[in-house]
Amino acid sequence: MEEIIITNKFFSFNKIEELPTNIQNLFNQASAVQKNAYAPYSKFRVGAAIELDNGKIILGTNQENAAYPSGLCAERVALYQATSNFPNAKILSIVITASPEETGISVPITPCGSCRQSIAEYETKQDSPIAIYFMGEKEKIYKSESLKNLLPLLFNKKLL
Query: Which among 51, 64, 75, 123 is annotated as catalytic?
Result: 75
| 101 annotated active-site | no
CA pseudo-torsion sign 30, 26, 152, 12: negative
Side-by-side strand order, sheet with 141-144: 10-13, 141-144, 131-135, 91-100, 44-52, 57-61
**Other beta carbons less than 10 A from residue 57's beta carbon:** 17
CA pseudo-torsion sign 148, 150, 154, 156: negative
Q: Which residues contact 56 (CB under 8 A, 6 or more apart)?
A: 82, 85, 86, 89
Active site residues: 75
